[in-house]
Structure 1
């Protein structure tokens, strides 16, 4: 097998969310830390899509920013094409690496400069990386990129407010494709869009992946979207991966109780009559996470070991899962 394009080992990110120094002194409060990402390990092969799913606040977007270098890790490493990401970004090869990875942000209404025309927005990466200079060649390239995502050349003279949400996200995709990247991080790119528009944007992304051999990290809380675009699925809970499996395997035979609850929350359109366990309770306060397995307060299979010992990610029949109940054969 060829070397994966992305390799993540024991990745962690901790944020200091303490009150100001004077408040801590007067109120005698200690420092407070949030472990937004806590020990993730995974890899993404070239031309494939890994989707990360989980409830809001589980650390998905933090992972996205770590993988493109917007955040530095507190622990662990990210390798891109066999080279350490942090070391490369701190060297003379940083700009070349930036061209090879891009990010599509969640909110198409906030990620585009409202004062710029579309041609300025899409042309910015080309000018920033010195790929083209201002002139007819740049305009032709912008027109080509807009055509790639289903927009017309005339749209380059418009401003973002003149477009719908789906059209704005297409502009974001065109901007991300400008440097001809190999790796795209998609941070919930369709969550702000209507369902019919979501399908159009997702189909564009799938077509682009096939034609350009793109590698995706796709972040979403919508399992229907994940089922459509992913090859592998990683389920996150409170900063940790609890299950990682091929898409077909995960949807057909989910192992972790949290994965089962997420799948049971999907409306049963076919009215199959199968038993369903809706997601119970709420995500604990990340400032004070539970001991042992962080899911145990909501888990119907938890026992004393789950309350005291953190489960390790182990591989069982081709699926990586972190659950004592699964590893002991209790479910």
Structure 2
């Protein structure tokens, strides 16, 4: 593996979700806080893909927005090619950094301005970063970008409503590629699409990665998609990473009970007869998370230590890390 392009250390984000001041006074309620991301650390090697997976509400999308500077971190640091992102975005180098990292959003129906033609949508970052001199150059460059994602350059004259969901997501990818970035944060880019269209979009992203040496952070709850695109996989639960491993290792021998639970929930189309365990219970209320290990109310291996002491991420040889007392003590199979 090459050197890390992106390094995340002890990243945390706390949201104040308190009711208005007068309501709190009348109802005598304290302030309320949600720890959406709570001490996440990982790195992404240049030219590779790290996928973050987990149930809805586990903090995946918050991590994505923290990495590109849409949210400010409550604690921790993100370094991109050796630069601290928060410091760089607050200084004169902000525009140059934003040119090197871009984001593809989840909903292709909401992320494109319906009043703009495709030409203006894809050309906006080109004009913002001063990458084109005039309209003719912008049209030529937009045509190249649309061709690179499998669309016709003539589509630049159309509006977003004239395209299907998969085509709209290709337009979003073309816009993200306009500044020739090195790092793309993909926040569930295929979850709103049909399965057949998902495959087309994912293949385009894989081809672009090979051709341009792109580095991806890929957010998803679909493990089949993750298996297709990722080099490394990080499993998140209630704002924390519970397991990080190479894709082959994680799918072949998951160690954390939550990871095994997620993999067991995948339908067995080959009918192998392997015993399967459905995902048990519900994700706890993030306003009132469980003590100790946040997964212990749903974990079949939980003991008194799990209820009282929060596990730290520990290395299990190689690049796999797991946060689980049962794995550490040898109680996990």
Taking structure 2 as the reference length, what is the TM-score of the superposition? 0.99
CA shift digits 1:34-79 (9 cap, x unpaired): 0000000000000000000000000000000000000010000000
Aligned-residue CA RMSD (Å): 0.7
After TM superposition, the structure 1 = structure 2 runs for residues 178-327 of structure 1, keeping only pairs within 5 Å, are 178-318=178-318, 319-327=320-328
Q: Which residue is 2:64 aligned to? A: 64
**Aligned-residue offset at 1:135:** 2.2
- Contact kept, 8 Å, 1:9 with 1:42, in 2: the verdict is yes
Please give the alpha-carbon distance, in whole angstroms, between the structure 2 residues aligned to 1:23 and 1:110: 33
**Aligned-residue offset at 1:160:** 0.3
- Contact kept, 8 Å, 1:231 with 1:246, in 2: the verdict is yes
**Aligned-residue offset at 1:200:** 0.1
Structure 2 residue 59 is matched with structure 1 residue 77: no
Secondary structure, in 3 states, of the residue corresponding to 2:41?
strand
Please give the alpha-carbon distance, in whole angstroms, between the structure 2 residues aligned to 1:103 and 1:285: 29
Please give the alpha-carbon distance, in whole angstroms, between the structure 2 residues aligned to 1:21 and 1:141: 52
Secondary structure, in 3 states, of the residue corresponding to 1:116?
coil
Secondary structure, in 3 states, of the residue corresponding to 1:292?
coil
Taking structure 1 as the reference length, what is the TM-score of the superposition? 0.99
Q: Which residue is 1:168 aligned to? A: 168
- Contact kept, 8 Å, 1:3 with 1:81, in 2: the verdict is no
- Contact kept, 8 Å, 1:12 with 1:37, in 2: the verdict is yes
Please give the alpha-carbon distance, in whole angstroms, between the structure 1 residues aligned to 2:148 and 2:207: 10
After TM superposition, the structure 1 = structure 2 runs for residues 101-180 of structure 1, keeping only pairs within 5 Å, are 101-180=101-180
Count of residue pairs brought into register by the alignment? 331
Secondary structure, in 3 states, of the residue corresponding to 2:307?
helix
* More displaced 10-residue stretch of structure 1: 313-322 or 4-13: 313-322
Secondary structure, in 3 states, of the residue corresponding to 1:306?
helix
CA shift digits 1:228-257 (9 cap, x unpaired): 000000000000000000000000000000
Please give the alpha-carbon distance, in whole angstroms, between the structure 2 residues aligned to 1:128 and 1:21: 40
Please give the alpha-carbon distance, in whole angstroms, between the structure 2 residues aligned to 1:72 and 1:2: 28
Please give the alpha-carbon distance, in whole angstroms, between the structure 2 residues aligned to 1:135 and 1:108: 26
Structure 2 residue 3 is matched with structure 1 residue 3: yes
Q: Which residue is 1:90 aligned to? A: 90
Secondary structure, in 3 states, of the residue corresponding to 1:121?
helix
Secondary structure, in 3 states, of the residue corresponding to 2:292?
coil
Please give the alpha-carbon distance, in whole angstroms, between the structure 2 residues aligned to 1:196 and 1:2: 33
Secondary structure, in 3 states, of the residue corresponding to 1:5?
strand
Secondary structure, in 3 states, of the residue corresponding to 2:330?
coil
**Aligned-residue offset at 1:2:** 4.6
- Detail structure 1 runs of 4+ shifted over 6 Å in the superposition: none
**Aligned-residue offset at 1:130:** 1.0
**Aligned-residue offset at 1:90:** 0.7
**Aligned-residue offset at 1:24:** 0.6
Please give the alpha-carbon distance, in whole angstroms, between the structure 2 residues aligned to 1:3 and 1:251: 24
Please give the alpha-carbon distance, in whole angstroms, between the structure 2 residues aligned to 1:254 and 1:104: 29
**Aligned-residue offset at 1:30:** 0.4
Please give the alpha-carbon distance, in whole angstroms, between the structure 1 residues aligned to 2:133 and 2:65: 29
**Aligned-residue offset at 1:317:** 2.4
**Aligned-residue offset at 1:3:** 3.1
